[in-house]
Copies of this chain bind each other. A is one copy, B any other.
Amino acid sequence: MKEFKKESLLDMFLEQPEQFLSGEEISRRLSISRTAVWKQINKLRQAGYEFEALPRLGYRITDLPMPLEQEKLKTFLQGGMGRELHILSTTPSTQEDARRLAEEGAPEGTVVLAEEQTGGRGRMGKSFFSPYGKGVWMSIILRPSQPLHLVQQLTLLCGVAVQRGIRNMTGLAAGIKWPNDLLINDKKICGILLESKAEDDRVSYCIAGLGISANISKESYPEELQPIATSLKEESGRAVDRNDLILSVLHELEELYKIYNRDGFQPIASLWEASSITLNREVSVQSPAGVTTGKAVGLHPSGALLIEKSDGSHYPVFSGDIRISPVQKG
């Protein structure tokens, strides 16, 4: 009964996609209360539909959900990244799912995707906003042969892969903030978390976690994120097919990873530097030893960021948050 009403509500909107329907009219035609109308609209919103709501005019449908499509993804992912593909509707964290699969012996290239994460994790224990149907919440199992002390190189490689995947698909050129945050117009479009497990200096596996804000509307963000986060839809003005975006990112990742395994880190470092917004800027870095400031001048072969201090010496930064000073007007 409830399901029937929900479909009817949706049908009413889909019959006349451009037009507003007042709450009163919906209430009358479906014989349900105004509160029930409001609840059903919210349910559709959670499933990925979007509505514009205006006083007096009522509701108008503005966006349909574009679900993750297992068949399409499987057709285009053959044998490389995505060779084993797990698509979930909702999960606490794709990182945890991938970690379990890796422990059970899942091969390199195994990918876990979810429409929604209820406990998405970012770097340093921060939570990661991962609403239903609006982004790419993806974890990829890697089993690199490179030793543990070079794993920072993979962190940078992942950033480059997503930067290029987004550009190929949308034309948007995100900048990479060291090590691998992607920003457009100074706002974050993607977070990357590389988790590793090792025995001595031997890597057992890495889980690359990618969170790309595809179709999140500005007003859907929690208030504290609104000034610092954005989405591809907000920046390009149109919704992105997440399936195409996933394919674009995974193809880039596969290609870069092949280059890395064959030719080493140098070609990856060059691509990273070309998209970096950190290089040639004054930065400050918080580390256990205190705050270091200086000019970011390049990458160390290990993947560390080299900072030139005021005395001309170079200081390698391996981890931590860096702060980029505002550009000086000349």
Give the residues from 94 to 131 in chain A that come closer than 8 angstroms, CB to CB, to chain B.
123-124
Looking at chain A, what size class is its interface with the partner chain?
A: 20 to 34
State whether the Cβ of A198 lies closer than 8 Å to any Cβ in chain B.
yes
Q: Give how many copies assemble into the complex.
A: 2
User: Is the C-beta of A231 less than 8 angstroms from some C-beta in chain B?
Assistant: no
The answer, among B152, B193, B199, for a CB contact under 8 Å with A193, is B199
Q: Judge whether A202 is part of the interface by a CB distance below 8 angstroms.
A: yes
For chain A, residues 128 to 159, give those with C-beta under 8 angstroms from any C-beta of chain B. Answer: 145, 147-152, 155
Q: Does A201 contact B (CB under 8 A)?
A: yes
Q: Mark A272-316, 1 if CB is under 8 A from B, else 0.
A: 000000000000000010000000000000100000000000000
Give residues of chain A (157-208) contacting chain B, Cβ–Cβ below 8 Å.
Answer: 179, 193-202
Q: Which residues of B lie under 8 Å from residue A201 when comparing CB positions?
A: 151-152, 155, 318-319
Among candidates B148, B150, B196, B199, residue contacting A123 with C-beta atoms closer than 8 Å: B199
A319 CA to B149 CA, complexed, in Å: 10
- Contact assessment for B179 and A319 in the assembled complex, using a CB-CB cutoff below 8 Å: no
Cβ contacts A to B, 16 pairs, < 8 Å: A124-B199, A124-B202, A147-B318, A148-B148, A148-B149, A148-B152, A148-B319, A149-B149, A149-B152, A151-B201, A155-B201, A179-B200, A195-B198, A196-B196, A196-B198, A201-B318
